[in-house]
């Protein structure tokens, strides 16, 4: 029992130290207030939580951004929008999965996508941080397309995260679908189109 108490106390001290490190790192590197408003891939996070998460990433299995092209996150599904064919989607509904999204992937396989599912209907901002290929992004409210962006480009080399454009700030949605660039044009997707899951 003594060993368990000692291990628990050590763990608490480590967590407190990690929090202090994150606070110090955050205060030294994030003097620009605009950085605090940037999303971490799909959703806004507190900057300190982001720093702690990034610091812990190498120590947690399955949490790192990878260059494999699998979009499998645990839950798979199928979606069709308007007149599009049915596509296979990775359904991401956990914060870490949404934050990571397609970042770091070399490409998105043909007829596949990623469906971000949120618990609240609100404005969901996206950016192209660490993306290696352009995509189309669709904001969905329930089963209706409410907005989209075609051919969101990869970030230019040397552009700081704080200067990356944000997409989707004007609409309320509870789902967002990312697909290969050109998909919206290919299937003539329009605002108001029905989404079938």
Mean pLDDT of 39-57: 34
pLDDT digits 0-9 by tens, 5-24: 555 554 545 555 545 444 44
* Element spanning 13, H or E: helix 2-29
pLDDT digits 0-9 by tens, 121-135: 999 999 999 899 999
Q: Tell me the average pLDDT of the chain.
A: 74
CB count in 10 Å sphere of residue 145: 23
CB count in 10 Å sphere of residue 87: 20
Q: Is the pLDDT of residue 179 over 80?
A: yes
Q: Is the pLDDT of residue 42 over 80?
A: no
Q: What is the pLDDT of residue 47?
A: 33
Q: How far apart are CA 116 and CA 101, in angstroms?
A: 8
pLDDT digits 0-9 by tens, 50-91: 333 333 333 223 333 444 444 555 689 999 999 999 999 999
pLDDT digits 0-9 by tens, 150-172: 999 999 988 898 999 999 878 99
The DSSP annotation for 130-155 comes to: T-SS-EEEEEEETTEEEEEEEEEPPP
Q: What is the pLDDT of residue 95?
A: 85
Q: What is the pLDDT of residue 15?
A: 54
Domains with residue ranges and CATH for the chain: 68-196 (2.60.120.1140)
Confidence (pTM):
0.64
């Amino acid at each position: 029992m003594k060993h368990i108490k000692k291990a628990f106390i050590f763990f608490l001290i480590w967590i407190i130290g990690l929090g202090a490190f994150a606070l110090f790192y955050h205060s030294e590197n994030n003097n620009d207030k605009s950085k605090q408003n940037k999303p971490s891939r799909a959703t806004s996070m507190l900057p300190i939580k982001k720093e702690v998460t990034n610091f812990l990433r190498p120590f947690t299995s399955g949490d790192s951004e990878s260059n494999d092209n699998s979009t499998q996150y645990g839950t798979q599904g199928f979606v069709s929008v308007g007149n599009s064919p049915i596509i296979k989607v990775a359904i991401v509904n956990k914060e870490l999965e949404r934050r990571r999204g397609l970042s770091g992937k070399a490409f998105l396989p043909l007829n596949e996508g990623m469906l971000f599912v949120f618990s609240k209907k609100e404005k969901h901002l996206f950016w192209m941080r660490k993306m290696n290929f352009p995509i189309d992004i669709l904001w969905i409210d329930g089963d209706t397309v409410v907005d989209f962006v075609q051919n969101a480009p990869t970030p230019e080399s040397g552009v700081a995260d704080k200067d990356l454009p944000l997409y989707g700030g004007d609409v309320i949605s509870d789902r967002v679908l990312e697909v290969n660039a050109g998909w919206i044009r290919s299937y003539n997707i329009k605002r108001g189109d029905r989404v079938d899951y």
